[in-house]
Structure 1
């Protein structure tokens, strides 16, 4: 089960925020971001076709959160490594996570891809639209995964839970009301269940019918 410390959760949330645009902008060719799974000392970047949700259609690249000098990796570097991997053939692996192929990334030998024009434009627009603030939003969104054509699993840092809560939500319906209620809903312990199929959370909450 994932039980990240405060610094780890903060870094995972930062990487997740940075990568969100690539759910709509291709990473490479026809490959898009389909999820960011928060693991211990790593993020698992999930890639696939624009509408892929089935595990056999996806691949998870496990990128460590620190480099060989034990310095935190940056979100642009995670993007560059992922783009290199998404541009090539799928490496062989016997490892899986949530039924997806899991590729451990050796960042000491992997060459990061160059920034694209879209990357530069997004960086400019993102900085102007979402300037850095000292206090990050709470609860921190440390990851997500598309689970259906109109559903997602959100990984949220909840201090009282001692780790991450996975909240399953629908993308259709009263999103404004759900977003307003989400912080209190995921804190209600009576909603917490254990999901043994997902190693990225300590509890799961089903809000798909809320």
Structure 2
């Protein structure tokens, strides 16, 4: 069983990840309209969706799913909101005036190029683990360079950073942990900026 603290942090990560979909469609004309935590030790979360104009319970639908990796939750929710799904009477009930669906989770929808990019950007801008003295990379900007090529503009969190902004070309489809681990070693790379006026140096991690 996951500890209460770990479950609460995972819940917070899921909430942060879903915030952009309050104003941008998750898929088609479906928007996120709520994220509801369940008391420990349930290890589940309820994700509320509806059309852009949906604000009242009768126009909203909640899906209950396991708390797990936030990007997997996002993929499951996108799959639940895509196409037609049939639910039995045992799967559907009412919650706070909304329809609540408690069916078995489908496999997550593939993230696609933008999903991989979103995961990487969230990984660089999310809260950092406490402890340790080494400064981490700070994301100052980004730019698509191709279908699976992204330029990150990073510097150090330390105020005494001597390097300025480094442009780092990455492939978002690469393993996320490997990319984030490698970034600090590339800050201040002594290569030329390649004509990019937005950085002092440029590194290629593709």
TM-score bin, normalised by smaller chain = 0.5 to 0.7
Paired position in structure 2 for 1:119: 115
Question: What CA RMSD, in Å, does the superposition of the two structures yield over aligned residues?
Answer: 2.1
Aligned-partner Cα distance in 2 for 1:57–1:123: 30
Q: Which runs of 5+ in 2 are unaligned?
A: 131-206
Find the aligned partners of 1:9 and 1:126 in 2 and give their Cα distance: 18
User: When the two structures are aligned, how many residues end up with a matched partner?
Assistant: 122
In the alignment, is the contact (CA less than 8 A) between 1:31 and 1:49 conserved in 2?
A: yes
- CA deviation string 1:92-140 (max 9, x = no partner): 4441111111111413xx1211113332332333334x144125xxxxx
1:77 Cα deviation (Å)? 0.6
What is the alpha-carbon distance in structure 2 between the residues aligned to residue 79 and residue 36 of structure 1? 12
Q: Tell me how far 1:57 sits from its aligned partner.
A: 1.0
TM-score by length of 1: 0.52
* Unaligned stretches of 5+ residues in structure 1: 66-72, 136-210
What is the TM-score when the length of structure 2 is the normalising length?
A: 0.53
CA pair 33-104 structure 1, distance change in 2 beyond 3 A:
same
Runs of 4 or more consecutive aligned structure 1 residues displaced over 6 Å after TM superposition: none
Does residue 77 of the first structure (1) align with residue 79 of the second (2)?
no
Q: Distance in 1 between matches of 2:45 and 2:34?
A: 10
Kindly tell me: are residues 124 and 94 of structure 1, through their superposed partners in 2, closer, same or farther at Cα, counting changes over 3 Å? Answer: closer
Q: Show the counterpart of 1:175.
A: none
- The 3-state SS of whatever aligns with 1:28 is coil
Which gives a bigger RCO, structure 1 or 2 (Cα 8 Å, sep 6+)?
A: 1
